[in-house]
Amino acid sequence: MWYVLQVRTGTEESIRLQCRSNIPEAVLERCFIPYYEEKKRIRGEWTIQKKVLFPGYVFVVTEDLNHLYDSLKTVIGLTKLIGTGKEIVPLTEEEKDFLLGFGGEEQVVKMSEGIIEGTKIIVTQGPLMGKEGYIKKVDRHKRKARLELEMFGRMQEVVVGLEIVEKRV
C-alpha cells in the first residue's frame, strides 16, 4: 500500500533519507519524492532542473502500517501520515496508477511539449499527453503548466514542465 507523509515544505529529502536509514527494509519497501522537470534559462543556456512535484509530501510503500507508524516516531521533522480523521488511509488505486503513469517507476515527470490551437491546448508528447483536462493555466514564458488534481482526498495544485512549441490561430 502507498501512504503519504506530510512534512514541512523544503524538508522532503531530509525526511526521505531519515526514513531510509531509520526504518527497516522489512517494514519500508520504498520511500520516494515525485519530481518534475522544468526548463530554466541560466546564463543564456537552457537547462533541465528537477523540482518537487508535491511540496510538503513524501510517499512511502509498506504492507505493515502498524510497524511503519511505530518506526516513524524516530523520524525528526515529520508532521503526520495523511488520512481521514484518526484513520490512516492509503492512496487509492486510481491515485497510484495516475502517479505511475505520470512519473513512471522513477517518479520523475518529464517535460511535455504541446501546441495551442485557438484556446485549446494539445499536448503532442510527454506525460501530459491525454491529460489536457487537468491543465488550469499555462505559463508559456516559464514553460510550466499548472494542474489541478484530486489527490490525498482533496484538490491539489501542482506545477509541471510544458513547452508550447507553436501557437495556431
Q: Per residue in 116-154, pLDDT tens?
A: 998 899 999 999 998 899 999 999 999 999 999 888 778
Buried b (16+ CB within 10 A) or exposed e, 7-27: beeebbeebbebbeeebeeeb
pTM of the model: 0.86
The 3-state DSSP class for residue 82 equals coil
| CA terminus-to-terminus distance, the chain | 47
Please give the single-letter amino acid code of residue 38. E
Q: Is residue 67 within 8 Å of 58, Cβ to Cβ?
A: no
- pLDDT for 42-85, tens place per residue? 999 989 999 999 999 999 999 988 888 888 888 887 778 887 66
